[in-house]
Amino acid sequence: MKRVFRLVVAAIMVSGVAGCTSISYYATSLEGHMQIMAARKNVGTLIQDPATPETLRAKLASADAIRRFATDELALPDNSSYRSYVDIGREAVTWAVFAAPQFSLTPRTWCFPVFGCVAYKGYFDRKAAAETAGELQREGLDVYVTGVTAYSTLGWSSDPLLSTMLRQDDTSVASLVFHELAHQRIYVNDDSAFNEAFAVAVETTGVRKWLRAGGNLAGLRRYEADRKRRADFLDLVSKTRKELRQVYGSARTPAQMAAAKAATIEKLRMRYRHMRDRRWAGYRGYDGWFETPINNAKLAATAVYGEQVPAFLRLFDLCAGDYPRFYAAVRRIGDLPKASHARALEAAKSCD
């Protein structure tokens, strides 16, 4: 999972919190964040420093150009985020914990001052994430834990480029930078699905524009192929979610429901293998997702990032690809009550 969780550090900066558990969690988050902030090095300085390894210098130069493109061409915030770099020395910067009931696809949410409620809880420490996952499992919940390559404070501090981000190719770096700066442009409290789909839409349109501007037609073809496979994958997950909703809404006994749930998830794996071997000509990029346990929490986490993206892309087209107009239209929808967001987005007939 390449996505990024919203850090709650700002909450402890601007408001009080109650309860020992909350204070401990916020303090640990703040400590992890401050350690990273203290290790930042200016990207421009590193590029000019002859001691910087050539491979890292090239990656930073590309990331620096991507950052300028985000502001100049996508109307994303012109601030100090992603203009510094930190080598964090580990495989993931944070670990995100998702949870959902055994027979429901509605994820557990955690609510914080400033940022509102989100469908995951993030940790800088892998052991702490595992401990929370264990507690949630003992409550009878389905749990999913995933490592994350970057995190965002939504502009409350200067988010740096991280070594975990630069392990990927330039297109992936552009995706992350555009996605996270989109959150700084618009963030609606208490609606993770809306926020993430909006940012994916900015990421998608932005990467396409960036690749075209660089004349990288081969890269654009690869990106579109990746997007198509991603859409196919999300379609499979969406179909399974619909089938599971029918199972969970039925009059089955818990034992019967558990058996039907397992059979439905196995059917998802079978459909994936068929799609991989036939439609995708053996492409195995999603094997890892299917080879690890699949449960309601994992399916809910996947849905957060995908289900509303087509509607946002349609709205972008209605705005004729004009980013400021698109952001204004999204802001108007985001200002509506949460229950109206998805309906208003789907019903949009024009940008204005």
Residue whose entry in the numeric block shows the structure tokens 């995190």: 151
* Tokens, residue 4: 């990024």
Tokens of 13: 């900066």
Q: 54 by DSSP, 3-state: which?
A: helix
pTM: 0.85
pLDDT for the residue 25 = 80
Cα gap 234→238, rounded to integer Å: 6
> In this predicted structure, what is the pLDDT of residue 118?
79
CA distances from 239 to 193, 214, 265, 315 (A): 18, 37, 11, 24
Q: Where are the domains of the chain?
A: 5-168, 219-304
CB atoms within 10 A of CB 65: 14
Distance (Å, whole) CA 50 – CA 213 = 30
d(Cα 149, Cα 167) in Å, to the nearest integer? 9
Other beta carbons less than 10 A from residue 263's beta carbon: 12
Which has the closest alpha carbon to 204: 167, 171, 155?
171
Token pair belonging to 184: 């700084």
What local confidence, expressed as pLDDT, does residue 16 receive? 38
What DSSP element (H or E) covers 144? strand 142-148
Q: What is the reported pLDDT for 265?
A: 98
Task: With both helix axes pointing from N to C terminus, report the angle between 217-248 and 192-213 in degrees, rounded to the nearest 10.
Answer: 160
pLDDT tens, N- to C-terminus, the chain (352 residues):
344 444 444 443 433 344 444 667 877 888 888 899 999 999 999 999 999 999 999 999 999 999 999 999 999 999 999 999 999 999 999 999 999 999 999 999 888 766 677 788 889 999 999 999 999 999 999 999 999 888 778 878 889 999 999 999 999 999 999 999 999 999 998 888 899 899 999 999 999 999 999 999 999 999 999 999 999 999 999 999 999 999 999 999 999 999 999 999 999 999 999 999 999 999 999 999 999 999 999 998 887 666 788 999 999 999 999 999 999 999 999 999 999 999 999 999 999 8
pLDDT at 114: 62
Q: Which residue has the tokens 């981000």?
A: 165
